[in-house]
Amino acid sequence: MAVRLKDIAQDLGLSVVTISKALRNHPDIAEETRTRILARVKELDYQPNLMARSLVTGRSYLVGLVVPSLLHPFFAEVARSLSAVIGRQGYSLILASSEEDPELEAREIQQMTARRLDALVIATSGADAAPLERLQANGMPYVLIDREITGLATNFVGVDDVAVGRMATTHLLQQGCQRIAHIRGRDNSTGLRRFEGYRQALKKAGRAFSEDLVVARSNVDVDSTRMGAEAMRLLLRRKPRPDAVFAYNDPLAIGAMEAILDAGLRIPQDVAVIGCGNLHYNESLRVPLSSIDQRSSLIGERTAEILLHAIASKTPPQPVSVILDPSLVVRGSSLKRGAVQPAARSKKERAAKKTPARKASMKR
């Protein structure tokens, strides 16, 4: 017969409420009591009845995450940190991939809503606000990550994408690069803002913007390494060819590096490369990749905090926007001059590391 909370309570001479609080890491329970309860729970191999808990609490203790690709390292890192934070409060994460298809994304959101999940996290692939407005109308807490929807007032956690494009391009300019290409993202907030940062950096340096040096691909989160290689091969046919490229994300940059090396060119001597994500591929790369760190783990953590607060609130809280500062991480793929530079962090970012999570870089 399955072990019940009541059985553990009787065995230890404690109340069912005390056992329940200990299992949820409630601060009311003394550490000695919690340790004794957890040890007995492990001995008896107690498994909570999730359906019964759901009926009592009105919660499923499930959070859904819908992203363009489950294989993309950025979204995997966000999922890992998000799961770690909500897991400490007894929640589990359910994953779904939209494959960069807005229609599939809408179906995944609808299915998760039908399963009565407690909250959703979405990295949207489209620009249609209708599925998200339905979530709001139904009272479903959710957070958008990485990309926003214009005109939609909702929770959002991401990085300053204009700063990403500006920082990456400025670094290449400082390395003496003259013809800097850009492999673009899609026409969403992330792609457009990184492109804008690229153009701003060129303008500030007095460099003319050239459409010939900008290439867009149909997909940037799915099959992105191949897409990056295709884009780079197109750029290498330009006359004169670019001597640097800023790729929308790291997988595109890795594909670009493969195309450069396959063409018999050197990185960074002939073509310097920088991506975005700082996703720790360097052990598998022939040339370590310079990148813009977009704080993927922190995005997951901040998202979890907003969700847990929203779930616990009796009335829907005001939308929260968390914009994190990116930082430059220089490695061999872009360093044409001098020694490797340390990661450049802004004053705002350094302050955020010392500030409690709910106060760091938040706008309401």
Per-residue pLDDT of the chain (364 residues; tens, 9 = 90+): 577 778 888 888 889 889 888 877 788 889 989 899 889 888 887 776 555 555 455 567 899 999 998 888 899 999 999 999 999 888 999 999 999 899 999 999 988 988 889 999 999 988 888 888 888 888 899 999 999 998 889 999 999 999 999 999 999 999 999 999 999 998 899 999 999 999 999 999 999 999 999 999 878 888 889 999 999 999 999 999 999 999 999 999 999 999 999 999 999 999 999 999 998 766 678 899 999 999 999 999 999 999 999 999 888 899 999 999 999 999 999 998 653 444 444 444 444 443 333 334 444 4
d(CA 77, CA 301): 11
Instruction: Write down the CATH number for the domain with range 58-160+296-324.
Output: 3.40.50.2300
Cα of first residue to Cα of last residue in the chain, in angstroms, is 51
CA distance 40 to 36: 6
Amino acid at 350: R
What would the pLDDT profile of 198-245 be if each residue is shown by its tens digit? 999 999 999 999 999 999 987 888 888 999 999 999 999 999 999 999
- The DSSP H or E segment spanning 362 is strand 362-363
Asked if 37 and 19 touch (Cβ cutoff 8 Å), the reply is: yes
**pLDDT of res. 281:** 67
CA distance 270 to 29: 63
d(CA 80, CA 301): 9
| Residue found under tokens 């907003």 | 306
pLDDT at position 71: 85
Task: Name the residue with tokens 């779930």.
Answer: 311
pTM > 0.85: no
Answer yes or no: are the C-beta atoms of 52 and 273 closer than 8 Å.
Answer: no
- Residue 338 is classified by DSSP as S
Angle between helices 16-23 and 5-12 (to 10 degrees): 110
Q: Are 29 and 21 spatial neighbours (Cβ–Cβ below 8 Å)?
A: yes
CA angle 84, 90, 96 (to 5 degrees): 60
For domain 5-48, the CATH class is mainly alpha
What lies within 8 Å, CB to CB, of 262 at 6+ separation is: none
pLDDT value of position 55: 47
Gap between the Cα atoms of 93 and 330, Å rounded: 34
pLDDT at residue number 348: 45
Q: How many alpha carbons lie under 13 Å from residue 303 in its C-beta half-sphere?
A: 33
Per-residue model confidence (pLDDT) at position 340:
41
pLDDT digits (tens, 9 = 90+) for 28-63: 889 989 899 889 888 887 776 555 555 455 567 899
Of 249, 276, 248, 271, the closest CA to residue 259 belongs to 271
Q: How far is CA 181 from the centre of its chain?
A: 25
Query: Where do you find CATH 3.40.50.2300 in the chain?
Result: 58-160+296-324, 161-293
CATH number of 161-293: 3.40.50.2300
Alpha helices in 88-188 (DSSP H): 102-114, 130-137, 161-174
Ranges for all domains in the chain classified under CATH 1.10.260.40? 5-48
Helix spans in 263-346 (H) = 296-312
